[in-house]
A and B are shown apart, each in its own frame.
Chain A
Amino acid sequence: GQQVMQIPQYQHVQEGEDFTTYCNSSTTLSNIQWYKQRPGGHPVFLIQLVKSGEVKKQKRLTFQFGEAKKNSSLHITATQTTDVGTYFCAGSGGGSNYKLTFGKGTLLTVNP
């Protein structure tokens, strides 16, 4: 079945440093979504990428979808303490039910 791998598992940065998490799928994806889960909270939708090579920005966050639609990345510029949490990618391979497979996530901690 479809597998989505995410690295790194953990990342600790000083406030102001940049952060990147990478997501790789074993199969070609129809689209990929990114979610953020704050400590003690539930996943919250951030963004969706659909097109090959797509790049989207949300303030300090930049999301990319690979040309082959098998990988994606999330980059945060100049991290802040409010960025703390676990970032998950979730890929959909299409099919009749559009099953969304989540990666294991990257836990970001920020030292003020």
Chain B
Amino acid sequence: EAEVAQSPRYKITEKSQAVAFWCDPISGHATLYWYRQILGQGPELLVQFQDESVVDDSQLPKDRFSAERLKGVDSTLKIQPAELGDSAMYLCASRRSRLGTEKLFFGSGTQLSVL
């Protein structure tokens, strides 16, 4: 079965440094999401793309976070500068369309530790 690819699997960085995460959704999936999951919590939406366009970034801390999906396929999430409170799992998910009845396919995530 096709999978959502994410890299790196783990990232350790010092505060004030820049970090970037990459996601390649399942082929043909028009909708891509970046979620942040703190240990013991549910995934929280950071940004939603429909093809190459951002359709929801209301919860994205735009002073330090940025996301792009230039060709409507793979996506990059960047944090600059990283803060201690950014330590979390960053999950990418995709689905065929943004219809609410479509299920999400999650990648394995990037575990970020900020020291």
Which A residues form the contact surface with B (CB < 8 A)? Answer: 4, 6, 9, 30-31, 33, 35, 41-45, 48, 50, 88, 90, 92, 94, 96-105, 107
Contacts and interface: CB of A to CB of B under 8 A. Distances in A.
A42 B91 contact: yes
Interface string B80-110: 0000000000010000001111011111110
A103 B42 contact: yes
B43 A99 contact: no
B98 A98 contact: yes
B42 A104 contact: yes
The dominant DSSP class at the B interface is loop
A44 to B, nearest CB: 7
A63 to B, nearest CB: 14
A82 B14 CA distance: 37
A103 B42 CA distance: 6
Given A97-B48, A97-B55, A88 B42 contact: yes
Contacts of A105: 41-42
Interface string B32-59: 0001000011111100101000011000
Contacts of B105: 45
Contacts of A45: 103-105
B103 A99 contact: no
Contacts of B45: 99-101
7 contacts: A42-B109, A43-B106, A94-B100, A102-B35, A103-B42, A105-B42, A107-B40
Contact of B100 (A6, A35, A42, A100): A100
Contacts of B104: 33, 35, 43, 45, 90, 100
Given A88-B42, A102-B44, A42 B99 contact: no
A97 B98 contact: yes
Contacts of B107: 42
A45 B41 CA distance: 17
Nearest to B99: A98
Contacts of B98: 97-98
